[in-house]
Chain A
């Protein structure tokens, strides 16, 4: 039985690196603290109340 050749796909690695860098850019702009602050609030209109 012929041995199958494995071809490594590069695209996922490139994309993961790209989005990791994007996330780090967000961290540099202090976006996590903004996200955290928003997540701590109950957005009533967001859940259809108020």
Chain B
């Protein structure tokens, strides 16, 4: 399953970043596909990006709400929230495990041999503060004289934007280098932090900071496709604890907000106690491994 997941993640990276002519055009993609939402965190100023980032677009809309309303335009972000809401209600944080480019980068970095550490439990709540404060409240409330707000998360924190857009654009357009200031170095600091943190710790950005992950996490109990624990089959062997890249103790909290449905625990469970289900119905094709394990034991 891990092998299949890597393939799916790679395909998503290539689909979301499908404009490969950028080394020649030296510009970002400006086609109609950019009306499609990227399910994972992927900066839409990335030269190869063919989709829009829901977090970036939502902040831009929030920042411009006052001015838009003053001009008689009613843009409240319904389209963006509706789109990521459908994705969230359907698969939730499965997106983090299967379709997020920045998640894949962190996973690859974590493969570098080193001592491995977890994340303190309280740090998982930081993202639930970042989501409302930096993505909603500050862009809406902290406005300039013109009534325009800033995309606070993108501007001050997002390491995906620095990696996928900031650095490539500086490399491709030398004229931009003169405009580099403390803002860029601040973002570069966060990028460096998460890159080095990803080596000893699995997915530190997803676990502590990602506002999109925090939004999808709201659906963990009610999403359509989720992992289901059969308490009757669980022996509390804790095999699922050892393999989870997000530090979830699945048999203790099957609806954990951190679960990215990577299915590592399905493979690890020798008793077939964990199964993938859709709206309450087991998905037989994905549970083959689970059944095989149960038969063996």
Contact = CB atoms under 8 A, between A and B. Distances in A.
Q: For chain B, give the interface size range.
A: 35 or more
A15 B179 contact: no
Interface stretch (B70-78, B110-118, B126-134, B196-204): B70-78
Interface of B: 28, 30, 32, 34-35, 43-45, 52, 56-57, 60-61, 68, 73-83, 85-86, 88-90, 150-151, 154-155, 161-162, 165-166, 169-170, 176, 179-181, 183-184, 186-188, 219, 222-224, 279-282
Nearest to B46: A47
Interface of A: 6-9, 11-13, 15-16, 18-27, 29, 31-32, 34-36, 38-40, 42-50
Contacts, number: 156
* Chain A, interface SS category: helix
B179 A44 contact: yes
Given A8-B280, A25-B78, A48-B186, 15 more contacts: A7-B280, A12-B279, A13-B279, A16-B86, A19-B86, A25-B82, A31-B61, A35-B34, A36-B35, A43-B151, A44-B176, A45-B150, A46-B56, A46-B151, A48-B187
Nearest to B153: A46
